[in-house]
């Protein structure tokens, strides 16, 4: 894209998209430069200086083993954005493929996919994650696998519903009458019109996945210590919520801010992609 | 949620000096207030009231309020007193015990008969009872006449009276139990101070006064003082503290240490930090490299800053240990503590020729203090030059790995039900005792030899010396990384009196009264 | 009638799903290390006792046999007995099913009550300051960790104002409403923003429809247009969102259950998994699956009630 | 006095990129009982005009910036929303281009027809139903008692347009705005609907504005015709005069592009594209496509002027058209 094309594109962005994208970019940049932004290390403990309230030295205070909370929140950006990204876009990729194929092909494939989807939706997530942790051991990769097994369903549903509509449209019929192979019709012609709602949903999904890790941490099923992951920090700080509110609240705030920026992006994208205003938060 | 494993060892002899562990006076005056309801919030829920299917603290502490046994723990838990057995006689060869039953009734009004006693004790020693091993030395339980029960032993067994005081030796009403064993687990018929009125699984047990209870209070009237107990299951510690403050709960059990310090300042609330038979420590698997090297194990000990842990994790509650086991009767104060010395730790790591084999430090999910400890230890041990990963496992899995020896280090704890060093010493330090030195695979022939000597000795001074020696050797062998002798911390409103935690960890509610 | 045939058809479709769920649940939970008997006895019992108890529970049989026994029982409505609690699984689940569903329905109702006016205002004032204000509050409610919201509500309404109890369930319907207000509000704080956003965008979508312009040309008031013509049409995507979330919250509300000491299905599941109480886990998996599918069916039926066109599909 | 007098009406749409004047100074009169046909290409501002009359312009992005809409002696632009709403349902009604999407899919058709009666006339449900059924019968919907409770998806397009008409006529308006009422329908149905509109108009004496891009439709129904181009009226005349002697090259172009079954088959399309409304110059907007334009047409502003009695045009050189007419 030329500079002018970029400028024109930016000019078409609704305000929510601009604000959201700016915030998100800021968060990403902060995460990239986290090691240079504070003088502390996210892992180094200072047991003598534990549970210090926010001050100039420690703007977010220190946690229950004396680590600087701000430093951990900033380093957490890397981890949480990575978690959010992988848990959202990997399942989205094959969820879309399966859903689109299912909607396009119909027949036994569709029936099979829908029953598979029902099983995945109806299966209790907690059992699954405990099982996977037990087999593979705890860690981020375990959460990934558990999410991979289940999170595709929403995308498959969305893609399938959209594909059912697109399938009947003239341009798809035209492509079929021209004798294009199915894969080309599905992926080259119909797909671009199918993915919009998924892209918008993925913004909310991103936040939901970070929150999921937080809930898992509450149950002790999240990422292992001492990783500065926001959800784990929120959960670890909860025993101190009345005497050291900052340990748990400020990482929570980071989730809120990230969520807000993604939500704005989602809203703006819904607008920009000209889809029927289907936003999910 | 209870931390696993929760090993309750059975002890033998009782310590005469028990009363020295003072726990406040039993309501001295006769003006004790009767009636009322006590609302008690705890982090564990009872799973069953069937005393032969134990169990977990959630169930045991509740069963203790409902079921009675031939002998029972006194108010401190350090001594024994007669329970349903009014008195007993022991034969000269110590192989035959004859118990005289008290004239007592079950909560349904039926008398406690010798049949019930024989049935209960046989069940407790039956093939599916978890505590059966405690009853293994028993040859036979028989009715002597309408009011006497005879227990004969295969061999001399001093712990018998202690074993009989356990919840697992509770006397149940045979007819009710046999008619509906599963139903009994929900609504037991026992002869304790309270009876279960309503058991809402997953949320609460409502107990009401058993009007047929035999014991007498300080005012000369039958115990208990309370009319009713609502024992609530409140797993979230913040919620318990809030509920205590808002007046929803009268007593809360297991106050988190950081909030305990805050509650200390609350004038309406009494905070109780009662020493119990508990040691928090890091299990080490001596069978796995690099923990097979004594230098490494000692390095772990030298590198652990216990003062800091006591301050940051326990908020000063507890005592830095000088032993590999809880502070029970033959505990020696003279064993020298391993100091915090990171340089020494580094030297030891170097001396061991450490090859970088990582140590997986395991903890159970949901164990918040354990997580904090693991986090601190990881950094400390890394500073000593060791590679340490923290691995978190759901408690069932963690316990499974521990018993199978598929772990390296595990942040956990141990408690003893009974005030006698011998049993835990043997279980923890004798690799041939059946639990592989409590899943450490610690194997020191000298210790095994000393323990055998101690068991054969009748002289308590000699035994004390031998146990002290074992304590010294095992502790300095780097048996484990002991962290803290942890007290039980509970809090109650000032209008609650007579509350006490016994050294075994649970509480007698029959002595509690409420004057709102 | 067509509708009854449709419902029966849907119920038939549940059968293969239930078989799938039960098989996955059974296999996965048996793959996990850990032995319910060892856990129940806390490592105290001898190998001999452990073996005897396993034998009594039938845990020593080959897995396929155990599975078939479970399926056989489940087909005649017998889900077996809890290993730990010795009570019938259907009874244990049944005790918590009512409260859990009550909590969920209550939360959903609260969320709708909160979300409806906010969404309407946000849609009518789209892109205005009020709309953005509602969005920001929503994002905060949505992204705040539930236990944090729960504790906050407990401190505010339980400790400071003393308006609502902080735990318990109560005995009568009114008491349920009173006791469960704070936990429901905690869930609603998460759910309502999702509903506001989906309802708002659905409304904006509907408001561009031709028939809304026709309604305006008819001289109908804004109020009537929104209530009668917009909301009903905008309800369908919102019902979908609600259905998906209720299905998830059935087991996912466990954090709220813990904070408010509420005896729900989520905490039962966590405990059953911790104890390896196989019959309870299997039973719960089936119950979850049935409820999720029934919720989906109800959602589809309500689409039909709202929009007759759906019937033709 | 005219029933409706529109003076200098301006409507514009504001987008981030540009301001688009959709109506630029539209003026006309309409007497009671008469029909004004408005004709023009897509995007010429016909539909915007109808919506602006009723105050239905979505704002933002649309704004009515100037002009008067005097209906029955009151300037509708200065009425508050509530009063204007009453006018909309009762005195002025409107029917739309696409009947398939003009009815709410989730309510029965009958309810929607009688909704106005309940809201504006305060009729009880049963009275509204009876009146609604009568309306449905009037517009030629067979067995209305049964069809009253049916849903839009069960009906054909022609029937739906009859329902739309019934809905519009329910409160007996003095003025009916019909925005391309037949465009979306099959040809055979179109005539029926037009005949129905004419018949209803004769029976009730209402005035009607009929918007269409189809000159034939206008010819059949209207007393006067107004030709719109680029947001303004370029020719207003009695229908017969406009068809016989168009005085604006655009009108002429429209007439020549009508296919006639019995004609010589010669079609002359208007060359070029409609102008970009956002970039109009000062001169005649049609100049670029005009066969008779002079250079000055591109620069000199042009306004409607009366060149024959009742015949208005916005062309600098209407006399030049004589040579072009066959």
Cβ of A252 and C31 within 8 Å?
Answer: no
Give D194's Cβ-side CA count (13 Å radius): 24
Cβ of B400 and C34 within 8 Å?
Answer: yes
To 10 degrees, what angle do helices A196-218 and A152-167 make? 170
CA distance B85 to B49: 22
Structure-token pair, residue C45: 């019992």
* C219-266 residue pLDDT tens: 888 888 888 888 888 887 788 888 888 877 877 788 888 888 888 888
Tell me the average pLDDT of chain C.
Answer: 84
Per CB-CB distance under 8 Å, the chain A contacts of C135 are 263, 267
pLDDT score for B15: 32
* A11 at interface of D, judged by CB pairs closer than 8 A: yes
Residue A132 lies in domain: 79-280
Least confident of A201-210, B385-394, C278-287: A201-210
Locate the chain C residue with the closest alpha carbon to A275.
C205
Could you tell me if residue A57 is inside a domain? no
Rounded average pLDDT per 10-residue block, chain D, 326 residues:
83 79 83 87 83 81 84 83 83 84 85 85 86 85 87 85 84 85 79 84 87 83 88 87 85 77 60 77 81 81 84 83 66
Mean pLDDT of C176-185: 90
One DSSP character per residue, D228-252 reads: EETTEEEEEEEHHHHHHS--SHHHH
> Quick count: other Cβ atoms within 10 Å of Cβ A136?
12
Which 91-130 residues of chain C touch chain A by CB within 8 A? 127
Distances in Å between the alpha carbon of C277 and those of B46, B71, C41, C271, D150? 15, 34, 13, 8, 55
Least confident of A48-57, A243-252, A270-279, B124-133: A270-279
* C56-101 residue pLDDT tens: 888 888 888 888 888 888 888 888 888 888 888 998 999 889 889 9
Which of B316, B372, B391, B406 has the most A C-beta neighbours within 10 Å, making it the best mutation to test the interface with A? B372
Touch between C and A (at least 3 CB pairs under 8 Å) = yes
Phi, psi of A60 (to 5 degrees): -105, 10
Q: Convert B303-364 into a string of H (helix), E (strand) and C (coil).
A: HCCHHHHHHHCCCCCCECCCCCCCCCCCCCCCCCCCCCCHHHHHHHHHHCCCCCCCEEEEEE
Which of C218, C232, C237, C307 has the most D C-beta neighbours within 10 Å, making it the best mutation to test the interface with D? C218
Distances in Å between the alpha carbon of A9 and those of A3, A17, A261, A263, A275? 10, 12, 20, 20, 17
Locate the chain B residue with the closest alpha carbon to C55.
B128
* B279-327 residue pLDDT tens: 999 999 999 989 999 999 999 999 999 999 999 899 999 999 999 999 8
B110 CB burial (10 A radius; 0-12, 13-18, 19+): middle
* A141-150 residue pLDDT tens: 888 988 898 8
Task: Give the pLDDT band of residue C43 (cuts 50, 70, 90).
Answer: low
CA distance C23 to C70: 10
* B78-101 residue pLDDT tens: 778 899 999 999 988 888 999 999
The per-residue b/e assignment along B326-365, b for 16 or more CB within 10 angstroms, e otherwise, is bbbbbbbeebeebebbbebbbbbbeebebeeeebbbbbbb
Question: How would you classify the pairing of strands B481-493 and B251-252?
Answer: antiparallel
Closest in C81, C258, C261 to B203, CB measured: C261
User: Which alpha helices (DSSP H) does chain D contain, by range?
Assistant: 46-54, 81-86, 99-102, 109-116, 125-138, 144-147, 157-169, 187-204, 215-221, 239-244, 249-256
pLDDT score for C1: 63
SS3 A68: strand
- What percentage of chain B exceeds 90 in pLDDT? 48
Cβ of C221 and D85 within 8 Å?
Answer: yes
Could you tell me if residue A139 is inside a domain? yes
Per CB-CB distance under 8 Å, the chain A contacts of D17 are 11
* A171-218 residue pLDDT tens: 777 777 777 777 778 777 777 777 877 887 888 888 888 888 888 887
pLDDT score for C48: 77
With a CB cutoff of 8 Å and minimum separation 6, the contacts of B334 are: B468
Please check whether residue B347 is in contact with residue B510, taking contact to mean a CB–CB distance below 8 angstroms: no
- Smallest CA–CA distance, residue A215 to chain B, in Å, is 12
> Quick count: other Cβ atoms within 10 Å of Cβ C111?
25
CA distance D220 to D205: 18
Mean pLDDT of B54-61: 78
D237 pairs with which residues across the strands? D225
Locate the chain C residue with the closest alpha carbon to D166.
C218
Locate the chain D residue with the closest alpha carbon to A15.
D16
Locate the chain B residue with the closest alpha carbon to C272.
B396
Whole-structure pTM value: 0.83
Please check whether residue B114 is in contact with residue B145, taking contact to mean a CB–CB distance below 8 angstroms: yes
* B258 at interface of A, judged by CB pairs closer than 8 A: yes
Question: How would you classify the pairing of strands B204-209 and B194-200?
Answer: antiparallel
Tell me the average pLDDT of chain B.
Answer: 85
CA distance B57 to B72: 18
B360 pairs with which residues across the strands? B389
* D17 at interface of A, judged by CB pairs closer than 8 A: yes
Is residue C215 over pLDDT 80? yes
CA distance A37 to A68: 12
Per CB-CB distance under 8 Å, the chain A contacts of C122 are none
Cβ of A43 and B379 within 8 Å?
Answer: yes
* A128 at interface of B, judged by CB pairs closer than 8 A: no
Per CB-CB distance under 8 Å, the chain B contacts of C34 are 396-397, 399-400
Closest in A125, A131, A248 to C32, CB measured: A131
Least confident of A9-13, C294-298, D83-87, D245-249: A9-13
Query: In terms of residues, how long is chain D?
Result: 326
CA distance C241 to C119: 14
* D60 at interface of A, judged by CB pairs closer than 8 A: no
* A68-91 residue pLDDT tens: 999 999 999 999 999 999 999 999
Between CA C194 and CA C199, with CA C195 as vertex, the angle to 5 degrees is 125
Which of D15, D16, D101 has the most A C-beta neighbours within 10 Å, making it the best mutation to test the interface with A? D16
Is residue C207 over pLDDT 90? no
CA distance D26 to A247: 67
Touch between D and B (at least 3 CB pairs under 8 Å) = no
Touch between D and C (at least 3 CB pairs under 8 Å) = yes
* A134 at interface of B, judged by CB pairs closer than 8 A: yes
Please check whether residue B369 is in contact with residue B310, taking contact to mean a CB–CB distance below 8 angstroms: no
With a CB cutoff of 8 Å and minimum separation 6, the contacts of A89 are: A202
Please check whether residue D185 is in contact with residue D62, taking contact to mean a CB–CB distance below 8 angstroms: no
D21 pairs with which residues across the strands? D12
CATH of the domain at A261: 1.10.3720.10
Nearest CA among B12, B7, B129 for reference residue B56: B7
Which of C139, C150, C273 has the most A C-beta neighbours within 10 Å, making it the best mutation to test the interface with A? C139
C81 pairs with which residues across the strands? C88
Least confident of B1-10, B269-278, B304-313, B393-402: B1-10
List the chains bordering chain B where 3 or more Cβ pairs fall under 8 Å.
A, C
Closest in B238, B372, B397 to A242, CB measured: B238
Place of tokens 């690099």: B290
Cβ of B238 and A238 within 8 Å?
Answer: yes
Mean pLDDT of A148-154: 88
One DSSP character per residue, B147-165 reads: SEEEEEESS--TTHHHHHH
**Complete edge-to-edge strand list for the sheet that includes strand D224-229:** D92-95, D175-179, D207-212, D35-39, D224-229, D232-238, D311-313, D305-308
Could you tell me if residue A146 is inside a domain? yes
Q: How many domains does chain A have?
A: 1
Question: How would you classify the pairing of strands D305-308 and B80-82?
Answer: unpaired
Could you tell me if residue A216 is inside a domain? yes
Cβ of A119 and C194 within 8 Å?
Answer: no
**Complete edge-to-edge strand list for the sheet that includes strand B96-101:** B85-90, B96-101, B148-153, B138-143
Per CB-CB distance under 8 Å, the chain C contacts of B53 are 40, 86
Locate the chain A residue with the closest alpha carbon to C18.
A119
pLDDT score for D266: 61
Could you tell me if residue A266 is inside a domain? yes
Could you tell me if residue A238 is inside a domain? yes
Question: How would you classify the pairing of strands D4-14 and D62-71?
Answer: antiparallel
Structure-token pair, residue B229: 């107990």
* B209-265 residue pLDDT tens: 999 899 888 888 888 999 999 999 998 888 899 899 888 899 999 998 888 888 888
Cβ of A65 and B372 within 8 Å?
Answer: yes
Could you tell me if residue A21 is inside a domain? no
Between CA B282 and CA B206, with CA B239 as vertex, the angle to 5 degrees is 100
Per CB-CB distance under 8 Å, the chain A contacts of B312 are 47, 50, 64-66
Mean pLDDT of B438-448: 91
pLDDT score for B309: 93
With a CB cutoff of 8 Å and minimum separation 6, the contacts of B6 are: B56, B57, B415, C42
CA distance A57 to A52: 10
Task: Give the pLDDT band of residue A280 (cuts 50, 70, 90).
Answer: very low
Please check whether residue D123 is in contact with residue D144, taking contact to mean a CB–CB distance below 8 angstroms: no
Tell which phi-psi region holds residue A106, choosing left (phi > 0), alpha (psi between -120 and 50) or beta: left
* C139-159 residue pLDDT tens: 888 878 787 888 888 888 888
Could you tell me if residue A3 is inside a domain? no
Per CB-CB distance under 8 Å, the chain A contacts of B394 are 130, 133-134, 220-221
pLDDT score for B1: 29
* B238 at interface of A, judged by CB pairs closer than 8 A: yes
């Amino acid at each position: 894209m030329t500079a002018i094309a970029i400028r024109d594109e930016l000019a078409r962005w609704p305000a929510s998209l601009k604000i959201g994208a700016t915030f998100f970019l800021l968060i990403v940049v902060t995460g990239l430069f986290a090691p240079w932004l504070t003088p502390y290390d996210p892992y180094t403990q200072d047991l003598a200086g534990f549970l210090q309230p926010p001050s100039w030295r420690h703007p977010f205070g220190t946690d229950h083993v004396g680590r600087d909370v701000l430093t951990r929140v900033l380093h957490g950006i890397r981890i949480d954005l990575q978690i959010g990204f992988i848990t959202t876009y990997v399942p989205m990729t094959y969820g879309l493929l399966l859903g689109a194929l299912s909607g396009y092909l119909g027949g036994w494939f569709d029936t099979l996919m829908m029953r598979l989807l029902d099983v995945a939706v109806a299966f209790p997530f907690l059992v699954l994650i405990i099982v996977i942790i037990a087999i593979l051991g705890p860690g981020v990769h375990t959460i990934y696998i558990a999410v991979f097994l289940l999170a595709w369903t929403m995308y498959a549903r969305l893609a399938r519903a959209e594909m059912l509509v697109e399938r009947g449209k003239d341009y798809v019929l035209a492509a079929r009458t021209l004798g294009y192979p199915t894969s080309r019709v599905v992926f080259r012609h119909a797909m671009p019109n199918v993915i919009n709602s998924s892209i918008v949903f993925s913004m909310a999904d991103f936040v939901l996945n970070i929150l999921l890790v937080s809930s898992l941490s509450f149950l002790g099923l999240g990422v292992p210590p001492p990783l500065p992951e926001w959800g784990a920090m929120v959960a670890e700080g909860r025993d101190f919520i009345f005497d050291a509110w900052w340990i748990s609240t400020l990482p929570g705030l980071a989730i809120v801010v990230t969520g807000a920026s993604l939500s704005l992006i989602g809203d703006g994208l819904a607008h920009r992609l000209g889809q029927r205003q289907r936003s999910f938060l | 949620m209870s931390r696993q494993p929760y090993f309750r060892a059975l002890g033998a002899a009782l310590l005469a000096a028990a009363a020295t562990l003072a726990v406040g006076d039993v309501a001295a005056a006769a003006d004790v207030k009767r009636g009322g309801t006590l609302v008690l919030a705890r982090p564990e829920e009872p799973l069953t009231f069937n005393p032969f299917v134990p169990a977990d603290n959630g169930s045991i502490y509740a069963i203790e309020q409902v079921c009675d046994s031939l002998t029972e723990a006194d108010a401190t838990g350090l001594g024994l007193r007669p329970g349903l057995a009014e008195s007993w006689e022991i034969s000269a060869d110590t192989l035959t015990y004859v118990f005289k039953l008290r004239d007592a009734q079950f909560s349904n009004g039926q008398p406690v008969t010798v049949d019930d006693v024989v049935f209960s004790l046989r069940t407790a020693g039956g093939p599916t009872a978890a505590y059966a091993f405690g009853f293994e030395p028993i040859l036979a339980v028989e009715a002597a006449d309408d009011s006497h029960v005879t227990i004969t032993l295969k061999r001399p067994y001093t712990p018998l009276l202690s074993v009989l005081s356990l919840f697992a030796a509770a006397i149940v009403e045979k007819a009710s139990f046999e008619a509906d064993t599963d139903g009994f687990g929900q609504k037991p018929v026992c002869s304790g101070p309270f009876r279960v009125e309503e058991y809402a699984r997953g949320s609460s047990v409502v107990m009401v006064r058993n009007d047929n209870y035999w014991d007498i209070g300080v005012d000369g009237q039958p115990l208990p003082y309370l009319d009713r107990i609502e024992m609530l299951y409140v797993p979230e510690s913040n919620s318990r503290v809030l509920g205590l403050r808002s007046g929803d709960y009268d007593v809360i059990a297991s106050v988190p240490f950081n909030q305990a310090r805050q509650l200390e300042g609350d004038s309406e609330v009494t905070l109780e930090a009662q020493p119990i038979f508990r040691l928090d420590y890091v299990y080490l698997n001596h069978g796995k490299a690099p923990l097979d090297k004594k230098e490494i194990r000692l390095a772990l000990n030298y590198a652990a800053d216990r003062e800091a842990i006591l301050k940051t994790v326990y908020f000063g509650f507890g005592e830095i240990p000088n032993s590999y086991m809880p502070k029970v009767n033959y505990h020696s104060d003279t064993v020298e503590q391993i100091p915090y010395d990171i340089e020494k730790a580094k030297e030891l790591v170097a001396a061991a020729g450490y090859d970088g084999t990582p140590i997986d430090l395991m903890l159970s999910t949901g164990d918040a203090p354990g997580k904090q400890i693991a986090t601190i230890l990881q950094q400390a041990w890394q500073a000593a030059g060791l590679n340490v990963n923290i691995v978190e496992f759901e408690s069932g899995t963690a316990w499974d790995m521990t018993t199978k020896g598929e772990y390296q280090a595990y942040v956990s704890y141990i408690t003893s039900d009974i005030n006698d060093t011998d049993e835990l010493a043997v279980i923890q330090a004798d690799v041939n005792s059946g639990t592989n030195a409590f899943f450490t695979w610690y194997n020191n022939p000298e210790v095994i030899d000393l323990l055998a000597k101690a068991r054969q000795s009748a002289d308590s001074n000699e035994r004390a010396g031998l146990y002290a020696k074992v304590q010294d050797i095992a502790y300095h062998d780097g048996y484990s990384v002991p962290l803290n002798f942890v007290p039980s911390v509970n809090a109650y409103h000032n209008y609650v009196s007579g509350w006490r935690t016994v050294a075994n960890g649970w509480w007698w509610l029959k002595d509690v009264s409420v004057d709102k | 009638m067509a509708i009854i045939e449709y419902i029966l058809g849907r119920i038939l479709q549940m059968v293969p799903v239930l078989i799938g769920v039960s098989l996955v649940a059974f296999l996965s939970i048996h793959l996990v290390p850990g032995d319910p008997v060892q856990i129940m006895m806390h490592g105290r019992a001898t190998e001999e006792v452990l073996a005897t108890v396993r034998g009594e529970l039938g845990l020593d049989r080959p897995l396929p046999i155990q599975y078939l026994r479970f399926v056989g029982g489940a087909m005649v409505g017998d889900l077996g007995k809890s290993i730990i609690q010795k009570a019938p699984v259907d009874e244990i689940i049944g005790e918590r099913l009512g409260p859990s569903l009550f909590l969920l329905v209550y939360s959903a109702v609260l969320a709708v009550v909160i979300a409806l006016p906010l969404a309407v205002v946000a849609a009518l004032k789209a892109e205005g300051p009020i709309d953005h204000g509602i969005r920001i509050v929503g994002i905060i409610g949505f992204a705040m960790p539930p236990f944090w919201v729960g504790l906050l509500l407990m401190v505010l309404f339980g400790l400071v104002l003393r308006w609502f109890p902080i735990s318990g369930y109560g005995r009568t319907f009114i008491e349920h409403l009173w006791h469960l207000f704070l936990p429901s509000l905690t869930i609603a704080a998460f759910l309502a923003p999702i509903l506001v956003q989906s309802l708002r965008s659905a409304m904006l979508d509907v408001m561009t429809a031709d028939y809304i312009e026709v309604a305006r040309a008819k001289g109908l008031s804004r109020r009537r247009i929104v209530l009668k013509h917009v909301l009903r049409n905008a309800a369908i995507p919102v019902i979908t969102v609600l259905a998906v979330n209720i299905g998830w919250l059935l087991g996912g509300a466990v954090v709220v259950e813990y904070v408010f000491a509420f005896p729900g299905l989520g905490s039962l599941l966590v405990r059953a998994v911790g104890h390896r109480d196989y019959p309870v886990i299997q039973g719960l998996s089936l119950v979850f699956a049935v409820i999720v599918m029934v919720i989906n069916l109800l959602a589809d039926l309500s689409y039909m009630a709202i929009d007759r066109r759906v019937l033709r599909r | 006095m005219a029933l409706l007098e529109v003076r200098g009406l301006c409507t514009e749409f504001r987008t981030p990129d540009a301001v688009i004047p959709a109506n630029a100074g539209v003026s006309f009169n309409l007497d009671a009982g008469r029909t004004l046909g408005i004709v023009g290409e897509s995007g010429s501002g016909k539909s915007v005009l109808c919506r602006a009359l009723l105050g239905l312009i979505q704002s933002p992005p649309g704004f009515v910036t100037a002009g008067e809409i005097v209906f029955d002696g009151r300037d509708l632009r200065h009425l508050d929303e509530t009063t204007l709403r009453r006018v909309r349902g009762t005195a002025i009604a409107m029917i739309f281009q696409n009947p398939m999407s003009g009815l709410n899919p989730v309510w029965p058709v009958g309810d929607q027809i009688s909704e106005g009666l309940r809201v504006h006339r305060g009729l009880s449900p049963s009275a509204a139903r009876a009146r609604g059924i009568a309306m449905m019968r009037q517009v030629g919907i067979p067995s209305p008692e049964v069809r009253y409770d049916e849903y839009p998806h069960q009906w054909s397009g022609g029937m739906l347009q009859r329902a739309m008409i019934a809905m519009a006529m329910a409160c007996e308006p003095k003025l009916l705005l019909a925005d391309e009422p037949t465009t979306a329908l099959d040809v055979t149905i179109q005539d029926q609907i037009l005949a129905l509109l004419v018949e209803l108009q004769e029976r009730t004496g209402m005035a009607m504005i009929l918007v269409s891009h189809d000159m034939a439709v206008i010819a059949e129904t209207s007393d006067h015709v107004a030709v719109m181009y680029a947001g303004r009226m370029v020719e207003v005349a009695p229908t017969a005069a406009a068809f016989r002697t168009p005085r604006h090259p655009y009108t002429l172009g429209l007439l020549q592009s009508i296919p006639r079954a019995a004609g010589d088959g010669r079609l002359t399309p208007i060359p070029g594209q409609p102008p970009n409304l956002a970039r109009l110059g000062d001169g005649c907007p049609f100049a670029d496509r005009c066969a008779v334009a002079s250079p000055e047409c591109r620069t000199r502003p042009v306004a409607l002027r009366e060149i024959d009695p009742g015949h208005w045009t916005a062309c600098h050189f209407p006399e030049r058209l004589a040579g072009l007419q066959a």
